[in-house]
Structure 1
Amino acid sequence: MGYDLAWLHDRLVVKGVDHDGHPSPVDMLDNYSIRPTPKKDRTWTQLTYFVFWWSATANVSNLYSASTGMAMGLTMWEAIACSLGGQLLAGCLMALNGRAGAMYHIPFPVLCRSSWGPWGALWPTFNRAAMSIVWNGVNSVQGTQCLYVFLHAIFPSIANIPNKMGSKSALTSAQMICFFIFWLINCLFLIVPVPKMKSLIYIKVVVYFAATFAMLGWTFSLAGGTAKYLNTPSTVHGTEKSYLIIKFLFLGLATYGTFISNAADLQRYARKPNDVLIGQIISFPVANLLIAVLGNLIAASSKAIFGELIWNPVVFLDRLMEGERYTPRNRAACAFISLAFVYSSIFSNIFENSISAGNDISALMARYITVKRGFFICAVLSYAVCPWYLLSTAEIFVTFLSSYQIFLSAIAGILICDYYLIRRGFLDIPALYTAHSGSLYRYFYGFNPRAFATYLLAVAPNFHGFLNQMGVQAPLGIQRLYYFAYPMGLCIAFGLYYLFCLASAPVGMKRDASWNEPGAEDHLDEDNVAREGGIAIEGIAIEDIAIIEKEAMVASKRV
């Protein structure tokens, strides 16, 4: 038995290599998956990021995220304006929070160690990993619905499978079969290395927009033009409407809370730090604007065709094959459109959720889990959370989107404050991978009390509103206050963390106004970084890490 356990442990432990190709040990804070991205893998250019955000936004959920505003009573143009406003804010925050990833090529879990401490960073990492897993499941449900439409167009008998799932499920029994098939296909694509996915990004953009414009043209023709429904009046008025606009404006921001927090995961592959800016500040909101317009136009046309608003475009497609509409022509159109949506859903899962979840899960147990193993753990857990119960109605979907924002907003506020005001752009990379007693980021036994106190105080004002989202009764004022949850949590966390650091300055805090990011010639290009009990950097032993850190701090003042 002892031999078997030793063999299993040896198989599970992550194997690493140094620059000379020799085996190197790993520990709970470091493996090769979460080290700075090697120079050979920094291949994402301005064009890559520009196209990436068109690709990342090209998913089914974005088609009906904005149209849920129509389902709740806003006009089409009001819903689009709210969506755009929130996404402009999100794009700017992603650029701010991802700067450290683009500059130092480190993932989100490692960046968190600067402000939370090496062990304290496990908490925000766990938070973000949980949301990525849930979103992976939600996108899988959407991809499943697309796959079902594709199979329904080919095999009409699939619609005759008895449904045992109940009214609270977004998926029928037949669609649950499709969910398993979609899940297997998604797992197969996870084998492809992330740096080699650039071509898949480009293909996804073409496929998705071709299918979406085809669906728009088809539904327009069925609706008999646009004049009947482009100016459909709002069904809410006065104060209620004002608060609904605020709700969807900041919901457009909160929807991308995971992107804002994990921006470093995506920017770590940048060839140059500034290559990410145009994509995030321009490409991201413009792409979302176009998709919001397309999604709302498609949803609005459903009123003219069916006499009711169908906010989910996949359900819309399936309805176009009901009864007498189940014709060869309609079936072919639905099959091609839904197949394109299946493809886009697979890579939305990978780019938006699997990459971030893989980084997070790997950092939670770096000795045993690589990023690729994290991909598959995410896939398994996304099945286990039963995401098909989150998309049955527009109201449930909106509740889900807004329920987790208070936790991610506090994390983002702390990270932005730490990088720009506390560290002034300087990070000691070797120190981020160790809990050594001389480490710059050790704080209190590996935990930063300032970050945890800030987190609790930033979450507290919106916690009652969060409980209301979960079903606990709350006064109308609390409900409306929760509409501001994301910007409120972000600003409170940013301000409080700075005040706590002023009151009790952490080691390495920059008190002057100088900016301390390294120049391009000073970038750390090593795959392997110093860590407790680990390997050497450029021939310098780990025992000298205190000297390394001291010299790095002195050097940063001269930058």
Structure 2
Amino acid sequence: MASVARRVKEAAALKADPTRHEETTTWCNRDLVPLPPSRRTWGWFNFFGAQSLGALNISTWQTPNTFLTQGLSVGQAMLIIVISRFIVSLFACIIAWCGLTWHIGFTVQNRFTWGLRGAYIPLMQRCLLNFIWTAVQCWNGGKLVNVCVTAIWPSFGKMKNTLPPSMPTTTPEMVGFIIFWVVSLPFLFVRPERYKKPFFISSLGCGIAMFCMMIWSLSVAKGVGPVFYKGEAVPASSRWSVSWLIMAGLNQAIGQKVAGITNESDFSRYGHGYRGFVIGTVSVQWIVGIFVCLGGLVTTAACQLIYGKIFWNPPDLLMVIMDNGDGSSGARAGVFFLALAFAFAILFQNVCGNAVAGGIDLAGVFPRYIDIRRGAIITLVATWVIQPWQLINRAATFITVLSSFSVFLAPLLGVMIADYFFIRRQKIKLGELYRAEGSDYWFTHGFNLRVIPCWVAGWAPTIGGLVASAGGITSAPDAVFQLYYTAFFTGLAISFTTFYVVTFFFPVAGAGEFDPYDDWATFTPAEAARLGVVPHVDAEEVARTGFGASGYSKRGGGGAQVLGEKDVESVAGDNVAQVAPQTITG
């Protein structure tokens, strides 16, 4: 029995390719190492496409409705959107900076803050969110597939429900979900380096579909309905003033994006320059996101004149358009292509932002057995365990709680920013992120005991408001809700400040230090010179390595090149001028 278990374990372990200098250990596999130049293929347009999937979607389209239903005016709703999306863009760039500089992802980045074992705490949070969001987005995509199939075969929408009453869904909805899930699966076998064309096609298609939908609605309605001019409608007896409603809306809008902000370095590490990431991210997250929200508002207001009702949800609106077209081939064709464009946008957003991100996080938890591909497949398969039809159709507070997870993630951002920018001054030891023995990042049995209480201090004041809101407890004191309405800013500020103060009195070893040699062949000669690092002896060759190669070769074994102090000083500058002569191998 023991021999069988051993053989199964050996078969499940990831295989390293020695011809590419790969290795698989407790802390390392091919998908966790610092990315070499050959795998950093994303420019500004690739980030534009990737980020556009987070803006050109149904959720963004519906955003104004969230604030209008709370009694705020159109102007106030758009103010929240403009400010919140700017803040999201700003923090996305801040968190991504480590990945752009050192070419490591969120999975590895947390090791120098939390400790090699402590990093499992934020990773498990991310894994849970990835499982749930993948399931939810599969269900949303399935609804659009349902619209597509109904547009082709109208009888599909009238199919008899064969599911038992205990399932809060219908047969057409379940068929749409299954089709969406099956279509998503093959894309998990594509490495993130090669997502450029899917990003371009899906984002372009969704953008065109939204624009066409808005133009069509305006041309038919010849104007916009009352909802576009909605003024402030907060009752005088309301428990909250307009200012607090705006603050709550701002916190909610940011909270919906915090999960994506935390792991920006997972994708920024694929970039070959800072400028491309910043331009691609800001132009979409801020500018395009604002126009998508405005487009959703204009389209909904125009359709209010056409149909006499307000339809914020595109799948519902598309079904109404098809029904009012009396099933004509023209109406069905238009609805089909619009729904198809929306569905593919959700598909690639879900594959990259949720399933692949889940694969990266799982790879960090189980490096010996899980790489990005295996982890992404596990995350997608977990959709059947999550059963999104149960969550969405039965639990009214589910999405609210899920979006409010920023209560825990904002403090995580606070300690990440304090540590990388202010404590370590953007300097880290790459080699010590992948080993426990003798590593400064091992701390106390693998845990940085400074960070855990600081993280808890960030969410402890706001967790009460989350519990009260989710549980519908209106009798809680105003202060509990007010803290909750500022959870992002409060949690981030408290954790940032406390962690900085704690490390001031209890300094961490190796803060501000970095490896003087590029053991991983991560940097081009120009990058190495900018960082003050001696480039790998094979740096030029690795930069030309064929697409997909891991491209790293650690020191040790054959082909040694000796660099003296003068050589080190000439290449790396004053930062490593005092380092003793070392042997660097090819």
Compute the TM-score of the two structures, normalised by the length of structure 2: 0.84
Q: 1:512-559 deviations in whole A, cap 9, x for unaligned? A: xxxxx96257377788899xxxx9425499xxxxxxxxx99x956989
Equivalent position amino acid for 2:124 in 1: F
Tell me, yes or no, if the aligned pair for 2:135 and 2:387 is still in contact at 8 Å.
yes
Tell me, yes or no, if the aligned pair for 1:88 and 1:285 is still in contact at 8 Å.
yes
Equivalent position amino acid for 1:6 in 2: R
- Secondary structure of 1:6's aligned partner: helix
CA shift for structure 1 position 472? 5.9
Q: Which residue of 2 aligns with 1:96?
A: 94
- Secondary structure of 1:452's aligned partner: helix
> What is the aligned counterpart of 1:475 among 477, 487, 503?
477
Question: Sequence identity, in percent?
Answer: 27
CA shift for structure 1 position 119? 0.3
Q: Which residue of 1 aligns with 2:517?
A: none
- Check 1:539–1:555 CA distance in 2 against 1; reply closer, same or farther (3 A cut): farther
- Check 1:207–1:484 CA distance in 2 against 1; reply closer, same or farther (3 A cut): same
Equivalent position amino acid for 1:142 in 2: N
Q: Which residue of 2 aligns with 1:84?
A: 82
Equivalent position amino acid for 2:555 in 1: I
RCO higher in 1 or 2 (8 Å CA, sep ≥ 6)? 1
Equivalent position amino acid for 2:504 in 1: L
Q: Which residue of 2 aligns with 1:116?
A: 114
Equivalent position amino acid for 1:373 in 2: R
Tell me, yes or no, if the aligned pair for 1:216 and 1:297 is still in contact at 8 Å.
yes
Q: Distance in 1 between matches of 2:391 and 2:304?
A: 24
Is 1:502 the counterpart of 2:514? The answer is no
Tell me, yes or no, if the aligned pair for 1:45 and 1:270 is still in contact at 8 Å.
yes
Equivalent position amino acid for 1:109 in 2: T
- Check 1:242–1:387 CA distance in 2 against 1; reply closer, same or farther (3 A cut): farther
Matches within 5 A, 1:216-235: 216-226=214-224, 228-235=226-233
Q: Which residue of 1 aligns with 2:521?
A: none
Q: Distance in 2 between matches of 1:308 and 1:371?
A: 45
Structure 1: state its 5+ residue gaps.
512-516, 542-550
Matches within 5 A, 1:171-182: 171-182=169-180
CA shift for structure 1 position 508? 1.4
Tell me, yes or no, if the aligned pair for 1:67 and 1:292 is still in contact at 8 Å.
no
CA shift for structure 1 position 218? 2.5
Equivalent position amino acid for 1:356 in 2: A
Q: Which residue of 2 aligns with 1:537?
A: 555
- Secondary structure of 1:288's aligned partner: helix
- Check 1:71–1:207 CA distance in 2 against 1; reply closer, same or farther (3 A cut): same
Q: Distance in 1 between matches of 2:165 and 2:234?
A: 31
Q: Which residue of 1 aligns with 2:285?
A: 284
In our comparison, the structure showing a higher alpha carbon Rg is 2
Q: Distance in 1 between matches of 2:103 and 2:387?
A: 34
Q: Which residue of 1 aligns with 2:466?
A: 466
- Secondary structure of 1:425's aligned partner: coil
> What is the aligned counterpart of 2:490 among 488, 500, 507?
488
Tell me, yes or no, if the aligned pair for 1:84 and 1:289 is still in contact at 8 Å.
yes
CA shift for structure 1 position 498? 0.4
- Check 1:12–1:394 CA distance in 2 against 1; reply closer, same or farther (3 A cut): closer
Q: Distance in 1 between matches of 2:82 and 2:130?
A: 23
Q: Distance in 1 between matches of 2:399 and 2:308?
A: 23
Matches within 5 A, 1:5-404: 5-18=5-18, 20-21=19-20, 25-163=23-161, 164=163, 171-226=169-224, 228-237=226-235, 239-322=240-323, 325-389=326-390, 391=392, 396=397, 399-404=400-405
CA shift for structure 1 position 392? 5.1
- Secondary structure of 2:441's aligned partner: coil
Q: Which residue of 2 aligns with 1:452?
A: 452
Report how many aligned residue pairs link the two structures: 536
Equivalent position amino acid for 1:285 in 2: W
- Secondary structure of 2:30's aligned partner: coil
Q: Distance in 2 between matches of 1:235 and 1:168?
A: 38
- Check 1:299–1:167 CA distance in 2 against 1; reply closer, same or farther (3 A cut): farther
- Check 1:65–1:345 CA distance in 2 against 1; reply closer, same or farther (3 A cut): same
CA shift for structure 1 position 457? 1.0
Q: 1:444-493 deviations in whole A, cap 9, x for unaligned? A: 11001111111111110011112124316233432232111111111111
Tell me, yes or no, if the aligned pair for 1:529 and 1:536 is still in contact at 8 Å.
no
- Secondary structure of 2:224's aligned partner: coil
Tell me, yes or no, if the aligned pair for 2:322 and 2:332 is still in contact at 8 Å.
yes
CA shift for structure 1 position 377? 0.8
Compute the TM-score of the two structures, normalised by the length of structure 1: 0.88
Q: Which residue of 2 aligns with 1:545?
A: none
Superposition RMSD in Å = 3.0
Q: 1:360-409 deviations in whole A, cap 9, x for unaligned? A: 01101111101110110110123322233555599747614532111111
CA shift for structure 1 position 101? 0.5
Q: Distance in 2 between matches of 1:104 and 1:428?
A: 10
Structure 2: state its 5+ residue gaps.
514-526, 543-548, 560-568, 580-586
